């Protein structure tokens, strides 16, 4: 059975194509819920409402989660609250980007 931790680890393989950084380190994934039946619900955001790579990122998240053993379904919910800011990034990533 997958856990929030194993799903977050798998999502490190999903990159924001504009930043070429994974969506976990840049702070786009807010919550991961896993039901006892294996249904996964990911609450995440994008760097902006007009993010041109939004559909690609959401599709990658859904495929990555669905490919995990024991996952029966994957739902990706895009939310805008709280709004993403660079402060949500892993501090090491922010330092690497010069922030």
pLDDT band at 1 (very low <50, low <70, confident <90, very high): confident
H or E segment to which residue 55 belongs: helix 54-66
> How crowded is residue 6: how many other Cβ atoms within 10 Å of its Cβ?
15
| pTM of the shown model | 0.93
Q: Which of 78, 4, 7 is nearest to 47 (CA)?
A: 78
Dihedral pair phi/psi, residue 93, rounded to 5°: -70, -45
Strand partners, 31: 43
For the residues 58-83, what does the mean pLDDT come to? 97
- On the question of pLDDT at 2 being above 90, the answer is yes
- On the question of pLDDT at 23 being above 80, the answer is yes
For the residues 56-77, what does the mean pLDDT come to? 98
CATH architecture of the domain 4-91 equals 2-Layer Sandwich (3.30)
- On the question of pLDDT at 98 being above 80, the answer is no
Q: What is the pLDDT of residue 3?
A: 96
Pairing, β 29-34 against β 73-78: unpaired
Give the percent of the chain with pLDDT over 90: 86
Long-range contacts of 50-54 (CB under 8 A, 24+ apart): 51/18, 52/18, 53/16, 53/17, 53/18, 54/78
Task: For 27-57, write each residue's pLDDT tens digit.
Answer: 999 999 999 999 999 999 999 999 899 999 9
């Amino acid at each position: 059975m997958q856990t929030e931790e194993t799903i977050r680890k798998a999502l490190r393989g999903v990159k924001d194509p504009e930043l070429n950084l994974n969506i976990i380190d840049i702070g786009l994934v807010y919550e991961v819920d896993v039901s006892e039946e294996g249904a996964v619900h990911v609450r995440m955001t994008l760097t902006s409402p007009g993010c041109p790579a939004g559909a690609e990122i959401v599709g990658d998240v859904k495929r990555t989660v669905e490919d995990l053993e024991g996952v029966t379904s994957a739902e990706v919910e895009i939310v805008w609250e709280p709004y993403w800011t660079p402060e949500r990034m892993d501090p090491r990533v922010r330092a690497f980007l010069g922030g």
